[in-house]
């Protein structure tokens, strides 16, 4: 009799727990946005807008397998019950550590192309980040450390999806950022300025390349030690505890390896159709002059709609200078711009530039172009 009563109490508490979570999740819905009930697995409670219920149902098994992988990779640090909220109202993803909630924003322009894959990749990255932050005792919330969390989360996602080959693109991107003076502990410690509030391959590439450098030098198992050590002190202290090497020595070795990386070749992750495509370039003015900036308009297409201007670089083969593309001021531009100054004293003639485009999937494409310089 006592056993029956105990089981009834346990059943009631489990039901009460699920109802409480459901009520809580409904309270997260934006005004006027219809929500469905929870889609439940062993460790996940997934909530989505009513017209995206199919997405939650189709993805929850994959996300459950991902929970198993990320929980093991982060030393059992994921909450045993994790809520994933899918919203169409947000562009960026977010984590609520206290409530064990991950919010995935499908308002991102890249989401509609392969929505299920986008959701699963985003959820995997946020699970990894949550586990790593909990492993470090919350140290991931500091600017000095955030680049490590961003990089390691992306490494774990690519390992889970068996697409680590795509991480070659992070080395290419880091190589260009270094040539622009945008790589190093000091630069990455000002995370707000460097990341510009974005979570993408550009912001992850410093951490990816640094951690892969450390892994090659000290072994895979040492990487988790970094995050465990961060709870005890600063980045420098954490690195020394993990590798018995100073932060200065590690940074110097990392930057040297990035600078020596010269394999700037095309990368195809899945198919050519997903990769960026070059349509044409326009030069303003048509013929450049020494001492005056040349604007190059790049007309590119990208089926996945996940090519960020920050992933497009132009290198002048004469000067070796690297420039990052920008979006023009128009609201709906169909091109990117690169403003390339022509140094004073440049001799008249024909010169070559190389455009490298790297999308969020890790596809890399390179194209060459020419421009003419006239005498003053």
Pairing of strands 364-374, 288-289: parallel
Tens-digit pLDDT profile for residues 12-31? 444 434 434 443 444 444 44
Rounded to 5 degrees, what are φ and ψ at 28? Answer: -80, -15
User: Tokens 């008249």 — which residue?
Assistant: 348
**Which pTM value belongs to this model?**
0.87
Q: What is the pLDDT of residue 9?
A: 38
Ranges for all domains in the chain classified under CATH 2.60.40.1220? 272-374
330-367: burial string, b at 16+ Cβ within 10 Å, e else: eeeeebbbbebbbeeebeeeebebebbbbbbbbbbbbb
Instruction: Evaluate the omega torsion of the peptide bond into residue 313 and state whether it is cis, within 30 degrees of 0.
Output: no
- Which stretches in the chain have pLDDT values below 50? 1-33
CATH architecture for the domain at 272-374: Sandwich (2.60)
Alpha helices in the chain (DSSP H): 2-27, 53-73, 115-135, 143-160, 168-179, 185-189, 191-195, 201-218, 221-230, 235-243, 247-260
For the chain, what is the largest distance between any 2 Cα atoms, rounded to a whole number of angstroms? 100
Structure tokens at 73: 């990779």
Q: What is the pLDDT of residue 138?
A: 80
* Cβ(231)–Cβ(219) below 8 Å: no
Tens-digit pLDDT profile for residues 303-323? 888 899 999 999 999 999 999
What are the percentages of helix, strand and coil residues in the chain, rounded to 5? 45, 20, 35
Q: Which fold has domain 33-135?
A: Neutral Protease; domain 2 (1.10.390)
* Cβ(84)–Cβ(76) below 8 Å: no
CA pair distance 220, 313, nearest whole angstrom: 31
Q: What is the pLDDT of residue 36?
A: 57
Q: What is the pLDDT of residue 30?
A: 42
The beta-carbon contacts of 219-223 under 8 Å, at least 24 apart in sequence, are 223/152
Ranges for all domains in the chain classified under CATH 1.10.390.10? 33-135
Tens-digit pLDDT profile for residues 87-103? 988 888 999 999 999 99
């Amino acid at each position: 009799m006592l056993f029956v009563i105990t089981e009834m109490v346990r059943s009631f508490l489990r039901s009460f727990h699920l109802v409480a979570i459901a009520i809580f999740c409904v309270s997260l819905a934006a005004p006027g946005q219809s929500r469905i009930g929870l889609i439940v697995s062993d460790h996940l409670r997934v909530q989505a807008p009513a017209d995206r219920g199919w997405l939650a149902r189709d993805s929850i098994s994959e996300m459950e397998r991902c929970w198993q992988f990320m929980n093991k990779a982060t030393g059992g640090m994921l909450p045993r019950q994790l809520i994933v909220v899918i919203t169409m109202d947000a562009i960026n993803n977010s984590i609520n550590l206290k409530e064990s909630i991950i919010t995935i924003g499908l308002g991102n322009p890249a989401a509609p192309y392969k929505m299920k894959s986008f959701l699963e990749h985003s959820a995997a990255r946020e699970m990894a980040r949550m586990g790593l932050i909990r492993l470090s005792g919350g140290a991931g919330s500091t600017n000095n450390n955030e680049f490590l969390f961003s990089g390691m989360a992306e490494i774990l996602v690519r390992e889970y999806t068996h697409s680590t080959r795509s991480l070659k693109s992070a080395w290419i991107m880091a190589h260009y950022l270094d040539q622009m003076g945008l790589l190093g502990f000091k630069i990455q410690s000002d995370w707000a300025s460097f990341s510009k509030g974005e979570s993408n391959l550009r912001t992850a590439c410093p951490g990816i390349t640094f951690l892969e450098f450390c892994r090659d030098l000290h072994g895979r198992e040492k990487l988790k030690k970094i995050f465990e050590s961060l709870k005890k002190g600063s980045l420098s202290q954490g690195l020394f505890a993990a590798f018995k090497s100073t932060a200065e020595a590690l940074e110097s070795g990392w930057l040297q390896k990035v600078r020596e990386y010269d394999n700037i070749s095309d990368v195809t992750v899945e198919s050519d159709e997903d990769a960026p495509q070059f349509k044409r370039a326009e030069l303003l003015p048509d013929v450049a002059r020494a001492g005056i900036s040349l604007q190059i308009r790049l007309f590119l297409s990208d089926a996945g709609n996940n090519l960020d201007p920050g992933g497009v670089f132009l290198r002048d083969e004469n000067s070796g200078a690297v420039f990052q593309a920008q979006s023009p001021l128009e609201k709906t531009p169909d091109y990117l711009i690169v403003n390339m100054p022509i140094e004073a004293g440049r001799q008249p003639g024909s010169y070559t530039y190389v455009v490298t485009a790297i999308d969020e999937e890790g596809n890399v494409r390179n194209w060459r172009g020419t421009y003419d310089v006239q005498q003053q």
